[in-house]
Chain A
């Protein structure tokens, strides 16, 4: 966020965001912070579609959406930015169109790419927060490393069936993904999932993003919230930082 380009709120924005500006601790200052923030959503799937929708609705000024895929029929049970008529189109292009229709004041930057260790600097770039919308650990760990080394908060979430997990990673304040998962967990070719599950987790991710940008509440750092939709119970598990973590440890 550079002070030079700090933007004030317009009359129409004051009206659009009225109900959230009323939230204690939010106010005009909070809304201005959102307007001047930049967030990357990596993966426009079951998590990334609802996450980018709510980030757009809440008025994050610039949203970078990254995904290399095109919409397929089997995506539509959960990737709610993709409609029947969007099959075969790049997800990020479809998403940008719809997000702009929802809120034209938000700058949406679509990037057709797969994040790798080699391109992560360029593709994710200089943002205030990164939202995990990935479906694999390989890329998550690349993002984790990038975010830790650049001091960018990273909101991890993952889903399966009616289960989900979420934790907020802020380098130096708590564990990173590598502390929690020292060995890369198994990947899955096809994950069974009820669409409402990633929607729930994406909502939680957006709440974390907003809290961090505005500076309210208590982030989910050092805690992993596990959601069990089958029994509809939410429970958190403590997760500890490793001093000897190869990614974030002070005794690397």
Chain B
């Protein structure tokens, strides 16, 4: 099956694109997809996505079809064919 991933902010640079369709197995969880993408784009991508290492303390927002994955099973949320996962940076200032 296939899902769409939309990148924002630094992820666009790390992935070198704004969005992509990714081929994954049925029942794949968000964390498994992120793992697959981290293998593709490297350590810095992984650190950024999980808020570790150089990016310790960073908390990104993951919207699956417009809903925050925290409302589902977080990183354990299972993906379905045709899903769109948007990964956004925290923006707080005014």
- For A74-102 the 0/1 string (1 means CB < 8 A from B) is 00000000000000000000000000000
The complex places the Cα of A134 from the Cα of B94 at a distance, in Å, of 5
**B92→A188 contact, CB < 8 A:** yes
Taking the closest CB of chain A, its distance from the CB of B73, in whole angstroms, is 13
In the complex, A165 Cα to B63 Cα: how many Å? 14
Chain B residue with the shortest CB-CB distance to A242:
B71
- A228 in contact with B12 (CB, 8 Å): yes
A48 contacts B94, C-beta separation under 8 Å: yes
Instruction: Let me know if B65 and A191 touch, CB within 8 A.
Output: no
Minimum CB–CB distance for B87 against chain A, Å: 10
Does B78 sit at the interface, judged by CB under 8 A?
A: no
A186–B91 touching, CB < 8 Å: no
Nearest A residue to B92, CB-CB? A188
- Cβ–Cβ contact B57 & A163, under 8 A: no
State how many residues of chain A have any CB contact under 8 Å with chain B.
Answer: 41
* Choice from B6, B66, B68, B91 contacting A164 with Cβ under 8 Å: B91
B contact residues, range: 20 to 34
Docked pose: A223 CA to B63 CA in angstroms? 12
Q: Is A191 touching B93 in the complex (CB atoms < 8 A)?
A: yes
> What residue of chain A has the Cβ atom nearest to residue B58's Cβ?
A186
Candidates A198, A230, A239, A242; contact of B94 at CB < 8 Å: A198
Are B93 and A226 within 8 A (Cβ)?
Answer: no
Interface: A7 (CB within 8 A): no
Does A61 reach chain B (CB closer than 8 Å)?
A: no
Bound complex: CA A51 to CA B88 (Å): 25
Out of B12, B57, B61, B94, name the residue touching A181 (CB < 8 Å).
Answer: B61
Task: Judge if A193 is at the interface, Cβ distance under 8 Å.
Answer: yes
Tell me the B residues contacting A by CB distance below 8 Å. Answer: 6, 8-9, 12, 18, 57, 59, 61, 63, 65-68, 70-71, 84, 86, 88-94
Give the B-binding residues of A (Cβ under 8 A).
43, 45-48, 132-137, 157-160, 163-165, 180-183, 185-188, 191, 193, 198, 222, 226, 228, 230-231, 233, 235, 237-240, 242
Q: List 16 A-B contacts (CB under 8 A).
A: A46-B93, A132-B94, A158-B91, A159-B91, A160-B92, A160-B93, A164-B91, A182-B68, A182-B70, A185-B92, A198-B93, A230-B9, A237-B63, A238-B63, A238-B84, A239-B66
